[in-house]
Amino acid sequence: MSRLVYLLNGPNLNLLGKRQPAVYGYETLAEVESDCRRLASELRLDLEIHQSNSEAQLIDWIHAARERAGGIVINPGAYAHTSIAILDALATCEFPIIEVHISNIHKRETFRHHSYVSLVAAGVIAGFGTQGYQLALQRIGRLIDEATSSAKGKRNGGKGKSKPTRKSAG
């Protein structure tokens, strides 16, 4: 499995650090990206990072990831609550997807409580500020490792990692 992870950011995240800092913090998207690149290197992950305010562009990157990546970390922004098109694109992916929200969407306006992306995500990280991106990378790295280990076991005729069996006494 590819160790390439697409990190996708949706609308208004280009304004991180300037837009509603009481909600999203003062860290800029460039700072978040730098932190993510540093962690990805430690995790032996390749990282491709994109941000767009355009739903169509995000979908094009998801389609590209299908062919190249081992996973997607996505902060869809407001598209989480509105975009069935992004849901449909993500549903075509056969690798893990982690959804990230900087704020706790469940403590905000009611319309933010539902996410279409969550329907296909292996996990959702919300409310941890920009640290959520690092948590997502750690998790997706582990999921890629597990998938790679499982695939190796299948290629070896099931002789990959296995749990020890317990013999009964008596």
- The C-alpha atoms of residue 57 and residue 60 are separated, in whole angstroms, by 5
d(CA 157, CA 145): 19
Which of the residues are catalytic? Answer: 24, 101
Are 32 and 25 within 8 A, CB to CB?
no
- Smallest Cα–Cα separation from 24: which of 116, 104, 137? 104
53 contacts 79 by C-beta, under 8 angstroms? no
7 within 8 A of 38, measured Cβ to Cβ: no
Three-class DSSP category at 100: strand
Which amino acid, residue 99?
E
By the 8 A CB rule, do 53 and 12 touch? yes
Rg (CA), the chain: 18
